[in-house]
Amino acid sequence: MGLLTDPSSSNKLIDMLISKYRLLSWVSYLFGFLGLFIMVHPEYSAKTYFSENALLPGLVHGEILAEGEAKRIYNELQEEKNQYSNSVPFPYIEAKFKQAGLEVYRHNFTLHYPLSDKIPSFKGQNIYAILRASRASSTESLVMSVPYRHTYSYDGGTQGSLALLITMASFFRKKNFWAKDIIFLVTENEQLGMQAWLEAYHKTSCGVKGTLDHGELPARAGAIQAAINLEISGEHVTHLNIKTEGLNGQLPNLDLVNLVNRLCLREDVRQMFQGYE
Protein backbone atom coordinates (compact mmCIF):
# COMPACT_ATOMS: atom_id res chain seq x y z
CA MET A 1 0.00 0.00 0.00
CA GLY A 2 2.91 2.35 0.51
CA LEU A 3 3.49 2.34 -3.27
CA LEU A 4 -0.07 3.59 -3.86
CA THR A 5 -0.10 6.45 -1.30
CA ASP A 6 1.92 9.60 -0.88
CA PRO A 7 3.06 9.96 2.76
CA SER A 8 3.96 13.60 2.22
CA SER A 9 0.27 14.58 1.83
CA SER A 10 -0.68 13.19 5.27
CA ASN A 11 2.28 14.94 6.82
CA LYS A 12 1.16 18.25 5.37
CA LEU A 13 -2.32 17.77 6.84
CA ILE A 14 -0.93 16.97 10.28
CA ASP A 15 1.41 19.97 10.17
CA MET A 16 -1.50 22.24 9.21
CA LEU A 17 -3.65 20.95 12.11
CA ILE A 18 -0.80 21.42 14.57
CA SER A 19 -0.18 24.97 13.41
CA LYS A 20 -3.86 25.88 13.72
CA TYR A 21 -4.59 24.01 16.97
CA ARG A 22 -5.47 27.15 18.95
CA LEU A 23 -8.01 28.30 16.37
CA LEU A 24 -9.47 24.79 16.04
CA SER A 25 -9.77 24.49 19.82
CA TRP A 26 -11.70 27.74 20.12
CA VAL A 27 -13.96 26.78 17.22
CA SER A 28 -14.68 23.40 18.86
CA TYR A 29 -15.50 25.05 22.19
CA LEU A 30 -17.81 27.51 20.43
CA PHE A 31 -19.69 24.77 18.57
CA GLY A 32 -20.02 22.76 21.77
CA PHE A 33 -21.36 25.78 23.67
CA LEU A 34 -23.89 26.51 20.93
CA GLY A 35 -24.86 22.86 20.86
CA LEU A 36 -26.03 23.06 24.49
CA PHE A 37 -28.56 25.73 23.55
CA ILE A 38 -29.69 23.78 20.49
CA MET A 39 -30.29 20.63 22.51
CA VAL A 40 -32.83 22.32 24.81
CA HIS A 41 -34.82 23.77 21.91
CA PRO A 42 -38.29 22.16 21.70
CA GLU A 43 -37.72 21.09 18.09
CA TYR A 44 -34.63 19.07 18.95
CA SER A 45 -35.36 17.82 22.48
CA ALA A 46 -37.11 14.50 22.97
CA LYS A 47 -40.53 14.58 24.59
CA THR A 48 -41.47 12.33 27.47
CA TYR A 49 -42.04 8.76 26.42
CA PHE A 50 -42.99 5.39 27.90
CA SER A 51 -40.50 2.57 28.29
CA GLU A 52 -43.22 0.18 29.48
CA ASN A 53 -45.85 -0.29 26.79
CA ALA A 54 -48.30 -1.72 29.30
CA LEU A 55 -48.65 1.74 30.85
CA LEU A 56 -49.75 3.50 27.66
CA PRO A 57 -53.13 5.03 28.57
CA GLY A 58 -53.98 5.88 24.97
CA LEU A 59 -54.01 2.23 23.87
CA VAL A 60 -56.51 0.93 26.42
CA HIS A 61 -60.11 1.62 27.32
CA GLY A 62 -60.83 3.18 30.69
CA GLU A 63 -62.74 0.55 32.63
CA ILE A 64 -62.88 2.06 36.10
CA LEU A 65 -66.23 3.84 36.11
CA ALA A 66 -66.87 3.89 39.82
CA GLU A 67 -67.54 7.54 40.58
CA GLY A 68 -70.75 6.62 42.36
CA GLU A 69 -69.03 4.05 44.56
CA ALA A 70 -66.20 6.44 45.41
CA LYS A 71 -68.74 9.13 46.32
CA ARG A 72 -70.64 6.71 48.53
CA ILE A 73 -67.47 5.62 50.33
CA TYR A 74 -66.49 9.26 50.78
CA ASN A 75 -69.81 10.05 52.44
CA GLU A 76 -69.45 7.01 54.70
CA LEU A 77 -65.97 8.16 55.70
CA GLN A 78 -67.40 11.54 56.64
CA GLU A 79 -69.77 9.77 59.02
CA GLU A 80 -66.97 7.58 60.39
CA LYS A 81 -64.91 10.73 60.94
CA ASN A 82 -67.46 12.00 63.46
CA GLN A 83 -67.33 8.72 65.35
CA TYR A 84 -63.51 8.49 65.30
CA SER A 85 -62.70 12.14 65.88
CA ASN A 86 -59.20 11.52 67.25
CA SER A 87 -58.27 8.22 65.62
CA VAL A 88 -58.36 6.30 62.37
CA PRO A 89 -61.53 4.31 61.50
CA PHE A 90 -59.65 1.04 61.27
CA PRO A 91 -62.75 -1.23 61.59
CA TYR A 92 -64.40 0.45 58.59
CA ILE A 93 -61.23 0.31 56.44
CA GLU A 94 -60.59 -3.31 57.37
CA ALA A 95 -64.17 -4.28 56.54
CA LYS A 96 -63.96 -2.59 53.11
CA PHE A 97 -60.70 -4.33 52.23
CA LYS A 98 -62.09 -7.70 53.30
CA GLN A 99 -65.24 -7.13 51.24
CA ALA A 100 -62.98 -6.65 48.24
CA GLY A 101 -61.40 -10.06 48.92
CA LEU A 102 -57.94 -8.84 49.95
CA GLU A 103 -55.56 -10.01 52.64
CA VAL A 104 -55.85 -7.45 55.44
CA TYR A 105 -53.35 -6.94 58.27
CA ARG A 106 -52.65 -4.45 61.02
CA HIS A 107 -49.26 -3.17 62.07
CA ASN A 108 -48.46 -1.76 65.53
CA PHE A 109 -45.53 0.51 66.34
CA THR A 110 -44.33 2.52 69.34
CA LEU A 111 -42.49 5.85 69.53
CA HIS A 112 -40.30 6.50 72.60
CA TYR A 113 -39.50 10.19 72.99
CA PRO A 114 -35.69 10.49 73.13
CA LEU A 115 -35.54 13.88 74.91
CA SER A 116 -37.57 13.14 78.02
CA ASP A 117 -38.54 10.02 79.96
CA LYS A 118 -41.50 11.82 81.54
CA ILE A 119 -43.42 11.93 78.26
CA PRO A 120 -45.33 8.67 77.76
CA SER A 121 -44.63 6.53 74.72
CA PHE A 122 -46.89 6.94 71.73
CA LYS A 123 -48.48 3.83 70.27
CA GLY A 124 -49.64 3.93 66.65
CA GLN A 125 -51.15 1.55 64.15
CA ASN A 126 -51.21 1.08 60.39
CA ILE A 127 -53.44 -1.08 58.24
CA TYR A 128 -52.57 -2.59 54.87
CA ALA A 129 -54.05 -5.00 52.37
CA ILE A 130 -52.22 -7.15 49.83
CA LEU A 131 -53.44 -8.08 46.37
CA ARG A 132 -51.38 -11.07 45.25
CA ALA A 133 -50.42 -11.20 41.59
CA SER A 134 -52.01 -14.25 40.00
CA ARG A 135 -49.43 -14.44 37.19
CA ALA A 136 -46.26 -13.94 39.24
CA SER A 137 -44.56 -15.42 42.28
CA SER A 138 -44.62 -12.42 44.68
CA THR A 139 -41.10 -11.29 43.84
CA GLU A 140 -41.98 -7.63 43.17
CA SER A 141 -44.64 -5.28 44.46
CA LEU A 142 -46.07 -1.77 44.22
CA VAL A 143 -47.32 0.30 47.14
CA MET A 144 -50.30 2.65 47.05
CA SER A 145 -50.53 4.57 50.32
CA VAL A 146 -52.72 7.19 51.98
CA PRO A 147 -51.73 9.07 55.17
CA TYR A 148 -54.92 9.40 57.18
CA ARG A 149 -55.57 12.98 58.28
CA HIS A 150 -58.60 14.61 59.85
CA THR A 151 -60.26 17.64 58.32
CA TYR A 152 -58.95 19.91 61.11
CA SER A 153 -55.37 19.11 60.09
CA TYR A 154 -53.25 21.92 58.68
CA ASP A 155 -53.01 20.18 55.28
CA GLY A 156 -56.66 19.16 55.27
CA GLY A 157 -58.28 15.77 55.56
CA THR A 158 -57.53 12.83 53.29
CA GLN A 159 -60.93 11.15 53.21
CA GLY A 160 -61.03 11.69 49.45
CA SER A 161 -57.73 9.86 49.05
CA LEU A 162 -58.94 6.97 51.19
CA ALA A 163 -62.20 6.70 49.24
CA LEU A 164 -60.22 6.56 45.99
CA LEU A 165 -57.83 3.96 47.43
CA ILE A 166 -60.64 1.66 48.56
CA THR A 167 -62.42 2.05 45.21
CA MET A 168 -59.26 1.17 43.28
CA ALA A 169 -58.58 -1.81 45.55
CA SER A 170 -62.03 -3.19 44.83
CA PHE A 171 -61.58 -2.65 41.09
CA PHE A 172 -58.05 -4.11 40.96
CA ARG A 173 -59.23 -7.26 42.75
CA LYS A 174 -61.52 -8.05 39.80
CA LYS A 175 -58.61 -8.13 37.31
CA ASN A 176 -56.16 -10.99 36.85
CA PHE A 177 -53.44 -9.45 34.66
CA TRP A 178 -51.26 -8.03 37.44
CA ALA A 179 -47.58 -8.96 37.24
CA LYS A 180 -46.69 -7.50 40.65
CA ASP A 181 -48.25 -7.63 44.09
CA ILE A 182 -50.09 -4.44 45.05
CA ILE A 183 -50.05 -3.21 48.64
CA PHE A 184 -52.74 -0.78 49.79
CA LEU A 185 -51.44 1.00 52.88
CA VAL A 186 -53.16 3.45 55.24
CA THR A 187 -50.79 5.02 57.77
CA GLU A 188 -51.38 6.79 61.04
CA ASN A 189 -49.42 9.96 61.87
CA GLU A 190 -48.25 10.34 58.28
CA GLN A 191 -44.42 10.14 58.03
CA LEU A 192 -44.07 8.41 61.39
CA GLY A 193 -46.42 5.61 60.44
CA MET A 194 -44.82 5.24 57.01
CA GLN A 195 -41.32 5.10 58.47
CA ALA A 196 -42.35 2.46 61.00
CA TRP A 197 -44.02 0.36 58.31
CA LEU A 198 -41.03 0.56 55.96
CA GLU A 199 -38.60 -0.32 58.74
CA ALA A 200 -40.73 -3.31 59.68
CA TYR A 201 -41.09 -4.33 56.02
CA HIS A 202 -37.33 -4.26 55.37
CA LYS A 203 -36.41 -5.37 58.92
CA THR A 204 -34.08 -2.45 59.51
CA SER A 205 -33.90 0.67 61.69
CA CYS A 206 -32.70 4.22 61.16
CA GLY A 207 -32.25 7.20 63.44
CA VAL A 208 -31.56 7.06 67.16
CA LYS A 209 -31.59 3.48 68.41
CA GLY A 210 -34.56 2.67 70.60
CA THR A 211 -36.60 5.71 69.60
CA LEU A 212 -38.95 4.03 67.13
CA ASP A 213 -39.99 0.45 67.78
CA HIS A 214 -41.27 -0.52 64.34
CA GLY A 215 -42.76 -3.81 65.49
CA GLU A 216 -43.35 -6.77 63.19
CA LEU A 217 -45.44 -7.26 60.06
CA PRO A 218 -47.67 -10.33 59.96
CA ALA A 219 -47.30 -10.61 56.16
CA ARG A 220 -45.21 -9.24 53.32
CA ALA A 221 -45.28 -9.09 49.54
CA GLY A 222 -42.45 -8.84 47.00
CA ALA A 223 -39.62 -6.33 46.85
CA ILE A 224 -41.03 -2.81 46.55
CA GLN A 225 -40.30 -1.38 43.11
CA ALA A 226 -42.27 1.88 43.31
CA ALA A 227 -44.81 3.65 45.50
CA ILE A 228 -47.61 6.15 44.90
CA ASN A 229 -48.81 8.29 47.78
CA LEU A 230 -52.29 9.80 47.37
CA GLU A 231 -53.22 13.01 49.17
CA ILE A 232 -56.57 14.52 48.16
CA SER A 233 -57.68 17.14 50.64
CA GLY A 234 -61.07 17.99 49.14
CA GLU A 235 -64.04 16.56 47.29
CA HIS A 236 -63.50 18.66 44.16
CA VAL A 237 -60.10 18.52 42.44
CA THR A 238 -58.95 21.36 40.17
CA HIS A 239 -55.19 20.71 40.09
CA LEU A 240 -53.00 17.66 40.48
CA ASN A 241 -49.56 18.33 41.97
CA ILE A 242 -46.96 15.62 41.31
CA LYS A 243 -44.06 15.33 43.72
CA THR A 244 -41.36 12.84 42.78
CA GLU A 245 -38.91 11.27 45.18
CA GLY A 246 -36.19 8.78 44.31
CA LEU A 247 -33.86 6.58 46.30
CA ASN A 248 -30.55 8.25 47.24
CA GLY A 249 -31.17 11.19 44.94
CA GLN A 250 -32.08 9.07 41.93
CA LEU A 251 -35.09 9.77 39.77
CA PRO A 252 -38.14 7.53 40.29
CA ASN A 253 -39.79 5.52 37.57
CA LEU A 254 -40.67 8.24 35.06
CA ASP A 255 -43.18 5.96 33.34
CA LEU A 256 -45.50 6.49 36.31
CA VAL A 257 -45.00 10.27 36.12
CA ASN A 258 -45.69 10.28 32.38
CA LEU A 259 -48.75 8.11 32.96
CA VAL A 260 -50.21 10.66 35.37
CA ASN A 261 -49.38 13.41 32.89
CA ARG A 262 -51.23 11.69 30.04
CA LEU A 263 -54.21 10.90 32.25
CA CYS A 264 -54.44 14.53 33.36
CA LEU A 265 -54.46 15.64 29.74
CA ARG A 266 -57.12 13.09 28.85
CA GLU A 267 -59.35 13.94 31.82
CA ASP A 268 -58.79 17.71 31.41
CA VAL A 269 -57.25 18.17 34.87
CA ARG A 270 -54.64 20.88 35.29
CA GLN A 271 -51.28 19.44 36.31
CA MET A 272 -48.54 20.81 38.53
CA PHE A 273 -45.03 19.48 39.07
CA GLN A 274 -43.27 20.02 42.40
CA GLY A 275 -45.63 22.91 43.13
CA TYR A 276 -45.18 24.68 39.77
CA GLU A 277 -47.80 24.67 37.03
Strands (E), 159-231: 181-187, 212-213, 223-229
Task: Tell me: do 125 and 199 sit in the same domain.
Answer: yes
Average pLDDT over residues 70-81: 88
The mean pLDDT value for 67-85 works out to: 85
The CATH number of the domain holding residue 156 is 3.40.630.10
* Residue 38 to residue 126: CA distance in whole angstroms: 51
Give the tens place of pLDDT for each residue, 195-236: 999 999 998 888 778 788 888 999 999 899 888 899 887 777
My answer on whether 166 and 225 are in the same domain is yes
pLDDT at 45 over 70: no
260 plus 154 within the same structural domain = no
**257-269: pLDDT as tens digits:** 888 888 888 778 8
What is the number of domains present in the chain? 2
146: domain range?
Answer: 62-237
Co-location of 98 and 112 in the same domain? yes
Residue 158 has pLDDT above 70, yes or no: yes
Residue 35 predicted with pLDDT over 60: yes
Q: Note whether residue 272 is domain-resident.
A: yes
**Is the same domain home to 223 and 263?**
no
For residue 154, the SS3 value is: coil
pLDDT at 113 over 90: no
Q: What pLDDT does residue 166 have?
A: 93
Q: Per the domain annotation, does 215 fall within a domain? A: yes
Residue with the larger pLDDT of the pair 68 and 55? 68
Query: What does the mean pLDDT of the chain come to?
Result: 83
Residue 132 lies in a domain: yes
Q: Residues near 242 by Cβ (< 8 Å), separated by ≥ 6? A: 257, 260, 261, 271, 272, 273, 274
Residues 251 and 186 grouped into a single domain? no
Comparison of pLDDT for 131 and 45, the residue scoring more: 131
Residue 18 belongs to some domain of the structure = no
Q: Are 226 and 246 in contact (CB under 8 A)?
A: no
pLDDT (mean) for 171-187: 90
Same domain, 225 and 262: no
Which pTM was predicted? 0.76
In a domain, 13, yes or no: no
Residue 50 lies in a domain: no
165, 184 in Cβ contact below 8 A?
A: yes
Q: Could you tell me which residues come within 8 angstroms of residue 179 by beta carbon, excluding any fewer than 6 positions away?
A: 133, 135, 136, 140
